[in-house]
Structures are given as structure tokens and as C-alpha cells.
Structure 1
Amino acid sequence: MKHYTRAVAGLALLASGVAAGTPALADGEVNIYSYRQPFLIQPLLDAFTKETGIKTNVVFSDKGLGERIAAEGENSPADVMLTVDIGRLDGAKQLGITAPISSDVVSANIPAEFRDPEGNWIGLTSRARIIYASKERVEQDTITYEELADPKWRGRICTRSGQHDYTLGLIASMIAHHGEEKAEEWLAAVRDNLARKPTGNDRAQVKSIFAGECDISIGNTYYMGAMETNEKEPEQKDWAASVKILFPNSDDRGSHVNLSGVVMAKNAPNRDNAVKLIEFLTSHDAQAIYAETNFEYPVTPGVTVSERVASWGTLKPDTLPLADVANYRKAASEMVDRVGFDEGPAS
């Protein structure tokens, strides 16, 4: 009981923005810092506890968790951090807060392109950066990222900020494939094709298509599922019904994919339980839960996507290692500023 109280106390201190002064030393539990919203991961954690008997303690925040772990140092109660986007996964590695994950189970479950070569992060699910296209105003059913620079799309593209993690990942992949010079020419041309300054999130872009403000937008696949099943805001079902998904570059290298993933904290007090959790999250059963509840793509081979996700079409993922994409994120961010992407088409 003493150990349990110490763990919860550390988590409570973190949640209030105060660094924990005592590590969580307890058998039978694992402490999770999560960028992923609790309702997205709770079914997985419930299944993990049912299978192992290990209790999960979760702190959620949409920013700053990696920096908090760094600030807490050896006293951090964090065992693992769950996050989205290769930028945050690689960022945790660069902060020096990760420990290599050594597990034959994980290596067998997760293909190499979805793992850090040094084991500092593990991908758990993938999501494709695709094109939402108006069913009424866009006849074509295929597209490439390169085609977004075609003048025929002038004034017809909506997207979120170029500095958002998801956009930076796509731009970084273009740099990896084409080199900086050609990627910058492409980005400037896409900027000139925008209908307005980048603003809002991925769902807001689909709303703009529904409203006739643009004809195509760039977004992540799972937002389609989130809109199609949104009972609290049923108008989003209408937004979703107005668009179709185009998977870019399906006839050549494949569509850019990004990850949700996990890192093990450098000073994890419950290291063995952390490894057990990570192994579970890469298992067939856990990946099936991810696929069904979060509208994401499993990264463990042999796990099928949900019927809803399958209905959107076939994803051919780009096999470019995400570690390579991460190497170009800084260059991508600088490029966004250099071409004035977030200033819109008049810049």
C-alpha cells in the first residue's frame, strides 16, 4: 500500500504541474504519461490489466510531457510515454528521456520501419496523410502529393498549419524523397494553390469542403471515422458524407504514414511492467482493439483493419523508415517559414 500511495502521489503532483519528488516504486502497476486522450487508450489498458493483473495509472496532457519527464529526472514516476507523431517520438529521444526497449516479442511483432533503430521508440499504430476530396466537385479517384503543386488546384486546397506535427511529417517525407530544393519548389506551389491561409484542424478542412470553400484538403485517415460516428456533433456526419478519401501515390511509392507510439522512460521505476505493457500493446489482441476503436491501421502484421477503415479504400503505405522522416523535420519547419506557407497564397 505504501508503494501504491507513492506512485499515485507522484502522478498527482505531475498532473498539478509540480515535479514529483519521489519515484513510484510499486509491484503490480505501471505509470503512463499520455498525449493520447484517455478514452482512446482505456479499452487497451483495461484489457492489459485483465490479462496481467498490472494496474495502470495515467496522466494525460496535450503538451509538455516529455519536458516534464526531463525536469523530473531520476524522481520521475513515469514508466512509459504514449504519444502521436514521429516528431514527438524522436523528440523524446533527443531530450534524453528514453531507455532502449529490448524485447524479442516487440521485435517480432513490429516491422523495423516502425521502430527506432536503437530501440528508443516503438510504433503502435499508423495513420495515413491522405486527401479528402469533394464528391461533387472532384471527379478523379487517384492523386499524388506531387500533383498538389499543379496549377489546376489553384484556390482549391485547404490545410492546417504547415508547422503542425502532421504537416511537418509529410513535408519531411517529401524532402527525403526529392531533396530540399525540389521539395521547396513543391511546397511553394502548394502554398499558391491554397484557398486561404492554413487554419483549424483536419476536421475543419473537411467542413470547409462541405461549405464549398475548397475542393480538397490534406488530413489523417482516422478523422473520417471520428466524423462518421460523431453522435455529439451529428453535423460532422454530413461533412464526412460530402467527401471521399484519395490515397496519394498508390500507384508508386505509397502514401505517407505517421505513427502513434510509445517510449520507455529512462528512469522508469517499474521497468519490468513497462516492458510487459509495451509487449502487450504490440500484440495481436491489442492491435485489434486499436483497429476497431480508433480507426487506425495496425502495425503488427496479420491484424486486419476494421470494416469502416477498409471501406475507405486500400492503403499502400510508403515504406520509407519513419526514422528517416524524423531526420528532416527541422529542415521541413525551416522551409515552411522560408516560403511563408502559413501566410497563404498571397505571400
Structure 2
Amino acid sequence: MFKPSVLLLTVAAITTSVNAAEEVNVYSYRAPFLIQPMFDQFTQKTGVKVNVVYADKGLLERLQNEGQNSPADLIMTVDIGVVHDVKTRGLSQPVTSELLEQNIPQHFQDPDNHWFALTSRARLIYASKDRVQQGEITSYEQLADPKWQGRICTRSGKHNYNLGLIGSMISHHGEAEAEQWLTGVKANLARRPEGNDRAQIRAIAEGQCDLAIGNSYYFFKMLNNQENPEEIEWAKQVTPIAPNQQDRGTHMNISGISLAKYAPHKDNAIKLMEFLSQDEAQHMYADLNQEFPVKAGVQRSELLQSYLGDFKQDELPLVKIAETREAASKLVDKVGFDN
């Protein structure tokens, strides 16, 4: 059976009566409320119990330390960099599945089938409704324009989400031009990078800056946050912008899943992977989490669609962005972005 460790934040309690042998063990960086409904539905349909360890750090190190004795069947992560790390550290194994190949676009999966995206999210520009005119900014490149000096907020340049964006700039423009761009963005910061993506939206609402960079699903979950009405008011004061619609499209990142190298319940693990890639689970991701489904033909949430419509997405293979992460991190240090 699956035994929790000191890294355990929450163990999913699944009440469905099942045979103890019919189970699958998941190590997850994703928070419980984002994925537990899908696991419950999977158990209801298949009778396979999903045991989960949730943690915000240390899971890959745990896997390494456990080695062949690890009980983990699946690793769920956010951000292409972390997904890629699972493979490069030798913690995953390839999956042969026609269903996964069919459901998930090629640029959202590993060429060697070590990881697959389950959802995507856009790295948006947020603009003050009062202080930024419609159409005044339409691309990531324009964030370096001196007209925005002292008007931009963002979280740390070293955060995985920003490293992904910087990595995409390196992939599209080359390292030298990306450095010039990042230097320009730094010069335009209204404050030292701090907080999370929601904090950047709040900073615009409070007048600390006029533009910010943030993931799409944070904004849409803020608009629905009945437990904290302040977040609703903050979100209503900004306009979400999907950049680069006239050229390559908006940078996208993912949540992903990998089959653990020594998965003891491999068949059940692949069964869960396939379930999460199909229409029912993809609809749940869209409606409950305000994330973008990766399976073609699955509708986005009405709220998300009403704000962004059918915008153009950058289809650069994410593995290329993952491979630039080290260079992106060095650029952040080189330009002193977080100083």
C-alpha cells in the first residue's frame, strides 16, 4: 500500500469501495482542489482507487531517493521546465498509447513519450482599464518599449512561469535579442519583482503599475472567487490581453503528467493518463479550473471564451522552451532582473 511521508500535504480520501489491488499512486505538484474531482470521477467509472501525495516541492528528490522502491506510478507537474526535469533526471519511462497520441497535440508532448500535457494556460499581459488604451500594447516585445517606464509589475524572473516566457523569447529571437528585451522590461518595472500572479493584478487595481504579466487561469479564478470578493473587484479593473496575435501567437505553458520509471501499477497508471486526456476530464479542467483543454474539440469555459475568444496560440514545441531554461535563468541574473 501507499505510505505518506513528511512531504505529505493532503492524502486524497476516496470513499468508493474497491479492491485494494486496484489502485494507482500519484505524486502531484498540483493542488488538491484542481485535480481531485477528476480523480473521483475516474474512481467512480473504473473502480481504481487513486492515492495521492500533494506537495509544493521536493517530490522529484523523493523519487530519486526512493529509486526502485518508489510506490509512485504517476508524477503530475506544472510548468514545462519541471515536466522536462522528470525526464532528464531519469525518473520517468515512455508510454505507448494511441489514445494519448491522438488526444494531445504534438507540440504538447515529449518526442520520446515521457510526458504529456493535460491542460494549458496562456501567459497574458494584464492592462489597467483606466490607464491603458485598447490596442496600446499587443505583444511581449512591446513590454520593453520605454513608454512603459515605471509602469510594469511582475513576479520574480526566476519563477518557472517567467523562465518559460523568457525561454520562448530566446527560442524565437535568439539569446542576444532576448537579453536586450529583458533589459528593457527591467528598466520599465514599477517595483522589484515580488508576489505571485494574483498579486500583480492586485497591484494594477491599487495603482502601483499599469501592466503586468500573469497566467490566464489565475485571472479567471479571481473573477469567480466568491470566498474573497476583493479578488473579483481587482480582476474587474484589468483587461487580459493575449499577445502576438499578428505573428507567432501567445506563449502557452502546461500542466503535465509522466509515468514513473518504476511504476508498480503501470496499467492502471496509463488508464488514468488516458482518462485525463479524454473529453469528460478535459471538460472538467475547463469548467472547474478555467484552464485550456489540450484535446481538440473540447470547449473552453464560457467565462474564458467571453474574454479571450479563439486567440492564436504559439505552437512552438515546448521541449524547445524547456531546453532554453538554463539560458533564461542566466539572463535573469545577467541583467539583474530581480534586483
TM-score band, normalised by shorter chain: over 0.9
- Corresponding letter in the other structure for 2:158: Q
- What's the CA shift for 1:101? 1.3
Equivalent in the alignment of 2:52: 58
- What's the CA shift for 1:13? 6.6
Equivalent in the alignment of 2:12: none
Equivalent in the alignment of 1:221: 216
- Corresponding letter in the other structure for 1:183: A
Deviations 1:234-293 (A, max 9, x none): 111110000011110011110000000101100000000000000001001110100000
1:239 aligns with 2:267: no
Equivalent in the alignment of 2:200: 205
Equivalent in the alignment of 1:325: 321
Deviations 1:125-157 (A, max 9, x none): 000000110000011235101001101110000
TM alignment of 1:296-315, pairs within 5 A: 296-314=291-309, 315=311
In 2, the alpha carbon distance for the partners of 1:105 and 1:26 equals 27
Deviations 1:275-322 (A, max 9, x none): 000000100111010000010000000101000111111331101000
Contact 2:192 2:338 in 1 (8 A): yes
Match for 1:339 among 332, 335, 338?
335
1:15 aligns with 2:17: no
Equivalent in the alignment of 1:69: 63
1:174 aligns with 2:137: no
Equivalent in the alignment of 1:137: 131
- What's the CA shift for 1:213? 0.6
- Corresponding letter in the other structure for 2:113: G
Equivalent in the alignment of 1:288: 283
1:44 aligns with 2:57: no
In 2, the alpha carbon distance for the partners of 1:15 and 1:325 equals 31
Equivalent in the alignment of 1:117: 111
Match for 1:91 among 46, 63, 85?
85
Cα 1:196–1:12, aligned 2, differ >3 Å: closer, same or farther?
closer
In 2, the alpha carbon distance for the partners of 1:129 and 1:13 equals 33
- Corresponding letter in the other structure for 2:65: A
Over aligned residues, Cα RMSD in angstroms? Answer: 1.3
Give aligned pairs, total: 328
Equivalent in the alignment of 1:21: none
Cα 1:46–1:105, aligned 2, differ >3 Å: closer, same or farther?
same
Equivalent in the alignment of 2:141: 146
Q: Which aligned segments of 4 or more residues in structure 1 are displaced greater than 2 angstroms?
A: 10-16
- Corresponding letter in the other structure for 2:330: E
In 1, the alpha carbon distance for the partners of 2:50 and 2:7 equals 16
Contact 2:7 2:58 in 1 (8 A): no
Cα 1:12–1:180, aligned 2, differ >3 Å: closer, same or farther?
closer
Unaligned runs of 5+ in 1: 1-6, 17-24
Deviations 1:195-231 (A, max 9, x none): 0110000010111100111001000000112211112
Instruction: Name the SS of the counterpart of 1:245 in structure 2.
Output: strand
In 1, the alpha carbon distance for the partners of 2:63 and 2:75 equals 9
TM-score by length of 2: 0.95
- What's the CA shift for 1:14? 5.9
Equivalent in the alignment of 2:312: 316
1:275 aligns with 2:267: no
**Which segment is superposed worse, 267-276 or 225-234?**
225-234
Equivalent in the alignment of 1:4: none
TM-score by length of 1: 0.92
1:81 aligns with 2:66: no
Equivalent in the alignment of 2:95: 101
Equivalent in the alignment of 1:22: none
- Corresponding letter in the other structure for 2:306: S
Contact 2:27 2:74 in 1 (8 A): yes
Instruction: Name the SS of the counterpart of 1:105 in structure 2.
Output: helix
Contact 1:11 1:77 in 2 (8 A): no
- Corresponding letter in the other structure for 1:66: L
- Corresponding letter in the other structure for 2:333: D
Contact 2:7 2:55 in 1 (8 A): no
Instruction: Name the SS of the counterpart of 2:326 in structure 1.
Output: helix
Unaligned runs of 5+ in 2: 10-18
- Corresponding letter in the other structure for 1:64: G
| Aligned-residue identity in percent | 54
- What's the CA shift for 1:12? 4.8
In 1, the alpha carbon distance for the partners of 2:6 and 2:316 equals 40
- Corresponding letter in the other structure for 1:276: K
Instruction: Name the SS of the counterpart of 1:82 in structure 2.
Output: strand
Match for 2:120 among 116, 120, 126?
126
Equivalent in the alignment of 1:263: 258
